[in-house]
Amino acid sequence: MATIDPAERDPAAKPELIAFEDADFHALSPGLCRDPQYNDRRLATRRKLLSLAKVYAERAKAAGVELDVRTSLHAPSTFNHNQVKRLWCYAARAKAEKKRLKGVLGADLAKDLDAAYRNAYVCCALEHDALEVSLRIHADAWFDGQNVVSRVKKEGTEGWKARLNELPGFRLRLHDWKGEWPCGKLGREQLEEFLKFYKPAEHLMAVERRWPAPQGQRAALLGADTPALVVEEMLRLLPLYRFMAWSQESDYLFSSR
């Protein structure tokens, strides 16, 4: 069995909410994101994000959804093109649900399912000039994307539209396209337009909310109440996650229901 680079392992962290600092954003800036001297600073941010994710996972579990949490690499490496421009924590389906999905997909299609980006996930991310909360389905998580497409095709857009419109402040986004669909006021025609272009194995689908955090203008995000706000925003995404991601309760991938 191959050994895991210690830098790839999630650090130790307990569930707690710790305020962000200016340095959390600064260490991700273009001039520093390749500099290994800032690895310790980024590791501290990574621990902070993991602690936040564990609080979120506890509250999601209390709401009936069990999720495993992970964090991204804090050190420049070949996996991140030798630069750390973005640090994030993410919560994706737990091991038991992955095992069920593997049973549905089969061994060949389900390989590498342990990688978080091959699953729908709820995310909190920092960049040097932004804070983001999002629900993301990458092209590699095509089965979750296909689950959404199949469910909407079978049920119509109303259920999906209702959950998206419970999220004012967020936007539905298709891959790197310039168009966006603001949540809170989406109509059937807009969602049908989105699905005309969206291809699960080719495109990223995201529902995201971003707060600008340029240097010198981050004070509003450095308060003690921001981590709690982030967790609440991630929890707002939970009904949409339950609707979109494949699970026993939302099985529209290959089923005939």
What lies within 8 Å, CB to CB, of 250 at 6+ separation is: 147, 151, 242, 243, 244
Phi, psi of 151 (to 5 degrees): -65, -45
In a domain? residue 14: no
- Tell me which residue range forms the domain holding 48: 22-244
Report the Cα 254 to chain-centroid distance in Å.
24
Q: Take residue 187 and report the two structure tokens written for it.
A: 């109509």
What lies within 8 Å, CB to CB, of 180 at 6+ separation is: 171, 172, 173
In a domain? residue 52: yes
Task: Give 213-249 as a DSSP string.
Answer: --TT--GGGSSTTHHHHHHHHHHHTHHHHHHHS--SS
In a domain? residue 206: yes
Q: What span, in angstroms and rounded, lies between the C-alpha atoms of 19 and 112? A: 34
Task: Count structural domains, the chain.
Answer: 1
Q: What span, in angstroms and rounded, lies between the C-alpha atoms of 42 and 9? A: 14
Record the pTM.
Answer: 0.93
Q: What average pLDDT score do residues 66-86 get? A: 95
In a domain? residue 135: yes
Assign 203 to helix, strand or coil. Answer: coil
CATH number of the structural domain spanning residue 78: 3.30.930.20
pLDDT tens by residue, 210-246: 999 999 999 999 999 999 999 999 999 999 999 999 9
In a domain? residue 187: yes
In a domain? residue 9: no
Assign 53 to helix, strand or coil. Answer: helix
In a domain? residue 67: yes
In a domain? residue 159: yes
Least confident piece of the model among 74-78, 133-137, 159-163, 173-177: 173-177
Residue 107 confidence (pLDDT): 67
